[in-house]
Structure 1
Amino acid sequence: LPRSAPTRLRIAKIGVDAPFTALVLASNGQLEPPPANNTNLVGWYSKGASPGEKGTSVIAGHVDTTTSAAVFANLDELAPGDRFSVERADGSTANFVVDSADTFAKDDFPSKRVYANAARPEVRLITCAGDYDHSAKDYTENLVVFGHLV
């Protein structure tokens, strides 16, 4: 599909129906998360491929916030073969199928595997996982769902 900004993520299996916001990289090179004050919001790394465009598109969402569960609270329920869609600003819908899901320690995150450019339209859904480290005020792991356009 041609480049087009995503407008809505729908994952029927886990009840996700969420609008998008654009995300950028922080000064340390890590992806900035979506704002935590909206529990039903996902972010898209806007300098990367758009969902459905050739390459790797990155979509991030919170598992929870200080107030409640958030948009990706049940992301760990997705399994190979599950489907989801991204509505796009050009009026088209990009449909994806889950290939796999893996959890990685944040201090050993495989950036090349997750963010590497792809020869076909692929997507990564990313959220926090593992134990919550109260001193760091962050989770110890990331869950990454890998998928491709169908």
Structure 2
Amino acid sequence: MTSSLRGRRAGLMVCAAAVALTLTACAGPDDGVAAPAASDSPQVEEVPSEPTPTAEPSPAPTSESPSPAPTEDPTQTEEPEPVSLPASDPTVVSVPVIGVEAELMDLGIQENGLIEVPPYNLGSPPGWYVHSPTPGEIGPSVILGHRNGIEGGPGIFADLPQVEIGDSIEVTREDGSVATFTIYRTELFDKSREGFPTLEVYGNTEEAEIRLITCDGLNTDTGVLEDNFIAYGRLDS
């Protein structure tokens, strides 16, 4: 896969049901109002005092002392940057709770605009969608795998619907590091264009996240898997 094909993908995600762009507006810093410049102290004309037996001369008016400059509250600290890793392509995905450990292939976009799926003739390996962030980068990294394998056997993600919130997903990366994610959400969605949660799966996130996607929802009358099962994970700190 060329570097141009892998081009940076945070901010530009593609729908699994059809090509769709997620636009992210950049919010600039708040417009501040400049503090008014300090005015000159008022000038007071000196007038000779004329002492009288009944009154004392009034003191000349003086300018107000400037307010002390505000000091920074030591209890306020900047919000920490979200945990993330530098870009590095994934090589192996592991889901220990269901006994999965498999090498990853690259998945791109088909000519019809749909995301590629792992080919059955290569043993149905899981695949990383190359236009999503690498696992550990800020944003949702997307990995797909079949529920069924070749010749009707189980696919690599046959047991993925058994994972639960709190389970781990581990991804080994080309730089030798391992990105570990904790599942925080699992859901079943209709495969139809109307049912698939495009923004929730492919839309930008403030943290480093992962999505594992497979098929589910077997229709016993047709033998077709009509749903997608999706596990959402967040990078461990």
TM > 0.5 fold call = yes
Offset from partner CA, 1:11-65 (integer Å, 9 cap, x none): 1110101000010122443321111124461100112100111111000000113
Which runs of 5 or more residues in structure 2 are unaligned? 1-84
**Residues of 1 paired with 2:118 and 2:230: CA distance?**
16
How many residues of Structure 1 are paired with residues of Structure 2 in the alignment? Answer: 149
Q: Secondary structure at the match of 1:18?
A: strand
1:121 aligns with 2:205: no
1:111 aligns with 2:198: yes
Provide closer, same or farther for how the CA distance between residues 132 and 39 of structure 1 changes in structure 2, counting only shifts above 3 A.
farther
TM-score relative to the length of structure 1: 0.92
Residue in 1 that maps onto 2:134:
50
1:87 aligns with 2:175: no
Per-residue deviation, 1:84: 1.8
Letter of the structure 2 residue corresponding to residue 122 of structure 1: E
Given the alignment, which residue of 93, 98, 104 partners 1:20? 104
1:37 aligns with 2:121: yes
Letter of the structure 2 residue corresponding to residue 99 of structure 1: Y
Residue in 2 that maps onto 1:131:
218
**Residues of 1 paired with 2:179 and 2:90: CA distance?**
9
Residue in 2 that maps onto 1:62:
146
**Residues of 2 paired with 1:12 and 1:72: CA distance?**
12
**Residues of 1 paired with 2:166 and 2:225: CA distance?**
27
Which structure has greater strand proportion?
1
Offset from partner CA, 1:50-91 (integer Å, 9 cap, x none): 011111100000011342101100001110000120000001
| RMSD between superposed Cα atoms in Å | 1.8
**Residues of 2 paired with 1:97 and 1:41: CA distance?**
22
Percent same amino acid at aligned positions? 38
Which runs of 5 or more residues in structure 1 are unaligned? none
Of structures 1 and 2, the larger Rg is shown by 2
**Runs of 4 or more off by more than 6 Å in structure 1?**
none
Provide closer, same or farther for how the CA distance between residues 32 and 132 of structure 1 changes in structure 2, counting only shifts above 3 A.
farther
**Residues of 1 paired with 2:217 and 2:187: CA distance?**
12
Letter of the structure 2 residue corresponding to residue 95 of structure 1: T
TM-score relative to the length of structure 2: 0.59
Q: Secondary structure at the match of 2:214?
A: strand
